[in-house]
């Protein structure tokens, strides 16, 4: 696993481990500045340690894509680590010559791909990726292409950016891509902040997309591991595509396989010029800094990047109304699983706050779903297993609910993993019982206040983790969506939610014609976890650990898991985490021995 493909692991881990750290101040006191080129700067002072968490968020994600280039936002996350004219190469002149030759060859290869697509449509071949399906001319061009790739690799200084940061005390260099944003982040000593300014302004001003075509293959492999090879990955992708009918949330961040293999460098350059211009970026600094002094340094390096020639276009294709219940029924080699999604509202909509509170009422070990499905009926598992990092309000429980307020639309998601031997339909029936009860009977003031307190504490604890990275993520998320002050406004708005508000949104959005259901039952003949077979999600986590080939990254992951272990009460979940830690430590030991040799 290369360094870029570990980003989702670290982003999820940050969310997962939020409850393991102490409470800080409730509001984020940020200083805001705007550069002449339109770049937004946010700084938060925290003087506990002489370090700074630094990030740049681009207001672009998979929702900004169109068919034909799905996955390009995530591809850029990879490409932004490939260097510049001064970073990542031994000979920029020959480097550029090779890239120009590769582009010329790709034009000819695309002509051959058109021929193969026509053959595929007519049934003359069954798979364009099959070597036997390639045309003779394509094979000739491919051989020339591979020879140039090998030559270019001799010029590349691998992981040069990471090496420069690490040499000067940098830590946690990584990135992530989501539906609505992309973020790049690093933690470093405060006396090395000018290094950050130089390196980041260099790669955002003049990145070189070397290894562009081979990196598309890396992303396709990432998709294979994270979606295609998991027990329910393709089923969940189908469900998402079924739920989002018309909006660009229809596809996952990883993109469609056919698009990943056909995105051109010309398309990439145009996309970069539109969405990575400074007027579409937000820099966030959290740590031991003085904002008034720091802004002078920022201007020195980042105002040399010109504003984009065109403003990023609006996303105009919205989600069209649903007119009837939709169901996806499937089987997989895993325990039974049910999900129910309803169309709701976007970020900052007035109903997003009562929906968030409603999700809190349904989630957690004291929530309605856990009580109904786990304690009362005994049909759902308690924890989601070692191979899963759930982002829902229930943490890593196997039952939970979440109000997913995206920039342009929203979804209320309810999920449950069943114990071996039950049917997913039983999970659905129990989930509906919880929903109907919330629609007919107002929650008590005591329960409502308890949930409000939990939501506030969760957010406060999250913002205090890892020397400011929680603040960085929370502030960056809201800034990228359009208003960083929502980080402070959200808890206040949730506090104002009444029992009538909760009942109203339950009745408004949990309508039968807005219901989307995913039913996954255990495939006949497959052993479930409770029958002595290994949980496929746990096996996936083991596979992920064993595929990591970077000792420093694995050591970071181990530290994060270990710091959380003492906070785990569930014996089953704790045993899984301990087993994963044991496997990870053995893998780390092997990597360090290999480095010594």
Predicted confidence (pLDDT) per residue in 494-521, tens digit: 999 999 999 999 999 999 999 999 999 9
C-alpha–C-alpha distance, residues 218 and 3, integer Å: 11
What radius of gyration do the chain's Cα atoms show? 25
- Model confidence pLDDT, tens digit, residues 374-389: 999 999 998 765 433 3
- DSSP 8-state assignment for residue 227: I
Query: Has residue 395 got a pLDDT over 60?
Result: no
- How many other β-carbons are positioned within 10 Å of the β-carbon of residue 333? 14
The residue that leads in pLDDT, 239 or 587, is: 239
Query: Domain 35-88+158-302 adopts which CATH fold?
Result: Cytochrome Bc1 Complex; Chain A, domain 1 (3.30.830)
- Model confidence pLDDT, tens digit, residues 190-224: 999 999 999 999 999 988 999 998 888 889 888 98
C-alpha–C-alpha distance, residues 584 and 587, integer Å: 5
Nearest to residue 355, comparing CAs of 390, 320, 403? 403
Query: Has residue 3 got a pLDDT over 80?
Result: no
- DSSP 8-state assignment for residue 207: B
Q: Tokens 């969506």 correspond to what residue?
A: 481
CB within 8 Å of 147: residues ≥ 6 apart: none
Section 532-548 average pLDDT: 61
Nearest to residue 199, comparing CAs of 225, 170, 169, 165? 165
475 φ, ψ (degrees, to nearest 5): -65, -45
Residue 527 binned pLDDT confidence (cut-offs 50, 70, 90): low
The residue that leads in pLDDT, 344 or 575, is: 344
Alpha-carbon distances, residue 109 vs 99, 402, 448 (angstroms): 15, 45, 61
Query: Has residue 445 got a pLDDT over 80?
Result: yes
CB contact burial 124-161 (16+ within 10 A = b; e otherwise): ebeeeeeeeebbeebeebeeebeebeeebeebbeebbb
Alpha-carbon distances, residue 594 vs 162, 320, 370 (angstroms): 20, 55, 46
Q: Do the beta carbons of residue 417 and residue 380 sit within 8 Å? A: yes
C-alpha–C-alpha distance, residues 297 and 279, integer Å: 18
Residue 442 binned pLDDT confidence (cut-offs 50, 70, 90): very high
C-alpha–C-alpha distance, residues 289 and 33, integer Å: 15
* pLDDT score at 391: 36
C-alpha–C-alpha distance, residues 186 and 287, integer Å: 12
Q: Do the beta carbons of residue 354 and residue 502 sit within 8 Å? A: yes
Secondary structure (3-state) at 270: helix
Q: Which segment of 306-310, 443-447, 469-473, 567-571 scores lowest on mean pLDDT?
A: 567-571
CB contact burial 385-419 (16+ within 10 A = b; e otherwise): bbbbbbebbbbbbbbbbbbbbbbbbbbbbbbbbbb
DSSP 289-343: --HHHHHHHHHHHHTTSPPPSSPPPP---PPPPP-S-EEEEEEESSS-EEEEEEE
Residue 586 binned pLDDT confidence (cut-offs 50, 70, 90): confident
- Whether 326-530 and 35-88+158-302 are alike in CATH topology: the answer is yes
Query: Has residue 392 got a pLDDT over 50?
Result: no
Reported as type and span, the H/E element at residue 43 is: strand 40-45
Residue 346 binned pLDDT confidence (cut-offs 50, 70, 90): very high
The full set of domain ranges for the chain reads: 35-88+158-302, 90-155, 326-530
Q: Which segment of 135-149, 232-246, 480-494, 525-539 scores lowest on mean pLDDT?
A: 525-539
Reported as type and span, the H/E element at residue 404 is: strand 399-405
C-alpha–C-alpha distance, residues 320 and 143, integer Å: 47
Nearest to residue 38, comparing CAs of 323, 377, 280? 280
C-alpha–C-alpha distance, residues 122 and 116, integer Å: 10
Q: Do the beta carbons of residue 177 and residue 62 sit within 8 Å? A: yes
> For the CA atoms of 329, 391, 493, 350, what is the dihedral angle to 10 degrees?
-30
Query: Has residue 70 got a pLDDT over 70?
Result: yes
106-110, 158-162, 214-218, 408-412 — most confident range: 408-412
C-alpha–C-alpha distance, residues 52 and 33, integer Å: 18
pLDDT, averaged across the chain: 87
- Model confidence pLDDT, tens digit, residues 459-493: 877 777 655 788 999 999 999 999 999 999 999 99
- Model confidence pLDDT, tens digit, residues 273-284: 999 999 999 999
Residue 97 binned pLDDT confidence (cut-offs 50, 70, 90): very high
Q: Tokens 């039950």 correspond to what residue?
A: 422
- Model confidence pLDDT, tens digit, residues 144-176: 999 999 999 999 999 999 999 999 999 889 999
Q: Do the beta carbons of residue 268 and residue 216 sit within 8 Å? A: no
Give me the residues paired with residue 282 across strands. 40, 57
CB within 8 Å of 287: residues ≥ 6 apart: 44, 45, 46, 49, 51, 52, 53, 190, 467, 468
Query: Has residue 13 got a pLDDT over 50?
Result: no
- Burial of 582 by CB count in 10 Å (0-12 exposed, 13-18 middle, 19+ buried)? exposed
In this structure, whether the domain defined by 326-530 belongs to CATH 3.30.830.10 is answered with yes
Q: Which segment of 129-138, 194-203, 379-388, 430-439 scores lowest on mean pLDDT?
A: 379-388
185 φ, ψ (degrees, to nearest 5): -145, 160
Give me the residues paired with residue 464 across strands. none
pTM: 0.84
Query: Has residue 1 got a pLDDT over 90?
Result: no
Query: Has residue 529 got a pLDDT over 70?
Result: no
- How many other β-carbons are positioned within 10 Å of the β-carbon of residue 479? 24
């Amino acid at each position: 696993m290369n360094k870029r493909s570990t980003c989702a692991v670290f982003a999820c881990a940050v969310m997962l481990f939020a409850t393991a750290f102490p409470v800080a101040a409730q509001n984020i006191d940020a200083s805001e500045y705007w550069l002449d080129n339109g770049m937004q700067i946010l700084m938060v002072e925290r003087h506990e340690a002489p370090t700074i968490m630094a990030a740049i968020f681009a207001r672009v994600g998979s929702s900004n894509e169109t068919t034909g280039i799905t996955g390009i936002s995530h591809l850029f996350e990879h490409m932004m680590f490939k260097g510049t004219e001064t970073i990542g190469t031994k000979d920029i002149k020959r480097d550029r010559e090779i890239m120009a030759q590769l582009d010329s060859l790709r034009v000819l290869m695309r002509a051959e791909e058109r021929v193969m697509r026509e053959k595929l449509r007519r049934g003359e071949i069954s798979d364009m990726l099959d070597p036997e399906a390639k045309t003779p001319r394509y094979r000739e061009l491919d051989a020339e292409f591979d020879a140039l790739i090998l030559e270019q690799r001799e010029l590349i200084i691998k992981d040069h950016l990471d090496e420069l940061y690490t040499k000067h005390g940098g830590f946690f260099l990584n990135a992530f891509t989501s539906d609505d944003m992309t973020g790049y982040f690093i933690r470093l000593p405060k006396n090395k902040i000018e290094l950050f300014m130089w390196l980041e302004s260099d790669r955002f001003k003049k990145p070189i997309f070397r290894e562009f075509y081979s990196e598309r293959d890396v992303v396709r492999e990432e998709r294979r591991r994270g979606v295609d090879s998991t027990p329910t990955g393709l089923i969940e992708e189908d469900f998402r595509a079924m739920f989002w009918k018309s909006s660009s949330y229809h596809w996952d961040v990883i993109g469609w396989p056919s698009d990943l293999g056909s995105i051109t460098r010309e398309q990439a350059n145009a996309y970069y010029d539109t969405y990575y211009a400074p007027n579409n970026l937000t820099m966030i600094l959290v740590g031991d800094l003085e904002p008034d002094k720091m802004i002078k340094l920022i201007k020195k390096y980042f105002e040399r990047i010109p504003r984009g020639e065109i403003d990023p276009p609006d996303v105009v294709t919205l989600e069209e109304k649903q007119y009837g219940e939709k169901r996806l029924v499937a089987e997989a080699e895993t325990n039974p699983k049910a999900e129910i999604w309803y169309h709701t509202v976007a970020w900052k909509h007035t109903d997003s706050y009562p929906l968030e509170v409603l999700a809190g009422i349904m989630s957690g070990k004291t929530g309605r779903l856990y009580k109904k499905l786990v304690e009362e009926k005994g049909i759902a598992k308690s924890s989601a297993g070692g191979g899963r990092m759930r982002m829902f309000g229930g943490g890593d429980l196997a039952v939970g609910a979440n109000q997913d307020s995206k920039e342009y639309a929203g979804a209320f998601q309810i999920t449950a993993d069943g114990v071996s031997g039950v049917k997913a339909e039983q999970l659905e029936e129990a989930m509906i019982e919880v929903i109907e009860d919330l629609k007919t009977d107002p929650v008590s003031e005591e329960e409502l206040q308890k949930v409000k307190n939990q939501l506030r504490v969760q957010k406060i604890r999250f913002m205090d983790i890892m020397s400011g990275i929680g603040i960085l993520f929370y502030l960056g998320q809201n800034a990228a969506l359009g208003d960083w002050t929502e980080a402070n406004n959200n808890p206040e708005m949730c506090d104002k939610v009444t029992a009538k508000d909760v009942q109203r949104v339950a009745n408004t959005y949990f309508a039968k014609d807005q219901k989307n259901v995913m039913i996954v039952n255990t495939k006949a003949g497959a052993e479930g976890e409770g029958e002595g077979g290994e949980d496929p999600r746990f096996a996936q986590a083991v596979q992920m650990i064993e595929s990591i080939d970077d000792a420093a990254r694995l050591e970071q992951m181990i530290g994060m898991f270990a710091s959380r272990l003492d906070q785990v009460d569930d014996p089953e979940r704790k045993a899984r985490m301990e087993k994963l830690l044991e496997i990870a430590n053995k893998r780390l030991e092997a990597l360090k021995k290999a480095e010594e040799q």
